[in-house]
């Protein structure tokens, strides 16, 4: 079956621009997660959506980062006024409740 998909696969942007990253989770998965992976920081949790509950935003590094999940399915991660330190691979994952998370291929973000 279809796995988690993310778009775009690569994004190059200029410092100060806003970017939107999209995640399509596996159908029927109630939980959706965003992580980022960078050389300096490893794999970091960003935000977690579970069903209709309020999202856990505890991992968002600044108020320039936000995410939403529409209709319990597709999610968009938005980074405003991008900085060079935002350069990383942004990974989305989804899971049924209390199960292993399935990761998408990631979006490689480069901020020039």
Partner 1 sequence: ELKVEQNPLFLSMQEGKNYTIYCNYSTTSDRLYWYRQDPGKSLESLFVLLSNGAVKQEGRLMASLDTKARLSTLHITAAVHDLSATYFCAVSNFGNEKLTFGTGTRLTIIP
Chain contacts with partner 1 (rule: CB under 8 A): 31, 33, 35, 42-45, 48, 50, 56, 58-59, 91, 93, 95, 97-106
Report in angstroms how near the CB of residue 50 gets to partner 1 at its nearest.
Answer: 7
Provide the minimum distance between the beta carbon of 81 and partner 1 in the complex, in angstroms, as a whole number.
25
Strand partners for 12: 110
Nearer to partner 1, 2 or 97 (CB): 97
When computed from its CA atoms, the radius of gyration of the chain, rounded to whole angstroms, is 13
> Is the CB of 74 or the CB of 103 nearer to partner 1?
103
What is the spatial distance between Cα 10 and Cα 89, in angstroms, rounded to a whole number?
9
For residue 29, the minimal CB distance to partner 1 (Å) is 12
> In whole angstroms, how close is the CB of 100 to partner 1 at the nearest point?
4
Residue 25 vs 104, nearer CB to partner 1: 104
The CA distance from 24 to 4, in Å, is 6
User: Which positions ≥6 away from 109 have C-beta within 8 Å?
Assistant: 11, 13, 19, 21, 79, 82, 86, 87, 88, 89, 90
């Amino acid at each position: 079956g279809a796995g988690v998909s993310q778009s775009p696969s690569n994004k190059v942007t200029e410092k100060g621009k806003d970017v939107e990253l999209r995640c399509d989770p596996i159908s029927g998965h109630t939980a959706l997660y965003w992580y980022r992976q960078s050389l300096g920081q490893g794999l970091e949790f960003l935000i977690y959506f579970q069903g209709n509950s309020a999202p856990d935003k505890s991992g968002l590094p600044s108020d320039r980062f936000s995410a939403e999940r529409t209709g319990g399915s597709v999610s968009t991660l938005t980074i405003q006024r991008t900085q060079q330190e935002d350069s990383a691979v942004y990974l989305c994952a989804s899971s049924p409740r209390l199960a292993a998370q399935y990761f998408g291929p990631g979006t490689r973000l480069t901020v020039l």
